Amino acid sequence: MSTLALPRRSEIIRAHQAHGGRIAAVLPIHYPRALLRAFDILPVEVWGPPRIDPSPGAAHLQPYVCSLVRNALAFLLAGELDVADVVIVPHTCDSLQGFASILVDFIQPKQPVLPIYLPRGNRPSDLEFLANEFRALYRALAAITHCTPADAELLASNAREEHADDLLAELHRRRNELAMTQLELYRLIRSREYLPAEMFIEIVGATLHGYSAQGDHPGSPRQNVPIILSGIVPEPMVIFDALAEMRAVVIADDLASCGRRLYPRGTSADPFVRMAERILNAPPDSTRGGAIPERLEHLARLVATTNAKGIVFYDVKFCEPELFYLPTLRQGLQARHIPSTVIEFDLNDAFSQQARTRVEAFIEMLG
């Protein structure tokens, strides 16, 4: 089949602005898309980005801060986020909280900087806290835009995002029915980072309807060693081509940018509570303080339901939320006879020969 054509971020941004909409540059990972869209603000996520000159950001940060934060700061200082009307920084980790503090207290970009504080649990008090964070964000956005969407508008926006996320989950489930490479699949999955929900719904709906394959194809787990990919973000994306060359297929993922954001539908009639429910009921995540036993059970369940042969932890260097979990998590996996390996990378690195060799040896051991 021909390569699936996806619009570029710059095209989407220009189209949204042409109709009078605003843009939010959103740092990883969890935030209320529906709330932003109710204000006609399109969230465009900033995962670094990779392969840029990090030195402007490095001048303001400790050398052990991860490349996601270092590159994001360099990107902003280079003027590449000037297109955004607001910068939103979830409190994903200490490094991103420090990033927000640097922007608010020292650099002070031209855009308003709005932090979001995420609770580290899923108790009733955590749900109330997060709903109140979203109410505070609503007030801040109302002051910026001079708009005050009613609850009905917020719920309608949330329904649209829930529909898009239902299709995203179906795309994950049916990944092995689709006649596309792993790289094409993950480009489509990650287009959720910037496409408006209605456009994502149209593209993924057409893909699921029209691109089902009959019989074997290059991504079929029947021909390859099925693995689970865990970590924060799959960069560089050529890792998927490399895995295909090694006769491995990502049968499911536990990536913070992908599989950990398969948000279920909410239940509350209160739009702010409903948005908070969706995030807190997502798969367990180190950046939200998910307990290690919960993370272990989730990964073991993924392995059991997909018949994966092992797990590749593919993590950004210095990512404290991930790296603090790994020793105990891998020990628990080993006790369950689930093989795993760890690869660390920097966003500005190519997929190195050393990493390739290590993954290839792991795949050969599984096969």
The boundaries of the domain holding residue 97 are 9-150
pLDDT in tens, 86-144: 999 999 999 999 999 999 999 999 999 999 999 999 999 999 999 999 999 999 999 99
Contacts of 130 by beta carbon, 8 Å cutoff, 6+ apart: 118, 119, 276, 279, 280
Q: Is residue 28 part of a domain?
A: yes
Q: Give the pLDDT score at 216.
A: 40
Q: Give the pLDDT score at 3.
A: 58
Q: Is residue 32 part of a domain?
A: yes
* Segment among 40-44, 73-77, 300-304, 349-353 with least mean pLDDT: 349-353
CA 39 to chain centre: 22
**349: enclosing H helix or E strand:** none
User: What count of residues does the chain have?
Assistant: 367
pLDDT band at 204 (very low <50, low <70, confident <90, very high): very high
Q: Is residue 101 part of a domain?
A: yes
Show the 3-state SS of 26-68. Answer: ECCCCCCHHHHHHCCEEEEECCCCCCCCCHHHHCCCCCCCCHH
Q: Is residue 203 part of a domain?
A: no
d(CA 37, CA 154): 9
Q: Which residues, listed in sequence order, are joined to residue 314 by a DSSP beta bridge?
A: 231, 343
pLDDT in tens, 169-186: 999 999 988 989 999 999
Q: Is residue 61 part of a domain?
A: yes
pTM for this model (two decimals): 0.94
Q: Give the pLDDT score at 219.
A: 43
- Sign of the C-alpha dihedral computed for residues 353, 354, 360 and 363 taken in this order: negative
Q: For residue 268, which amino acid is it?
A: S
218 has pLDDT over 70: no
What is the CATH classification number for the domain harbouring 44? 3.40.50.11890
Q: How many domains does the chain have?
A: 1
Across the range 4-27, mean pLDDT stands at 96
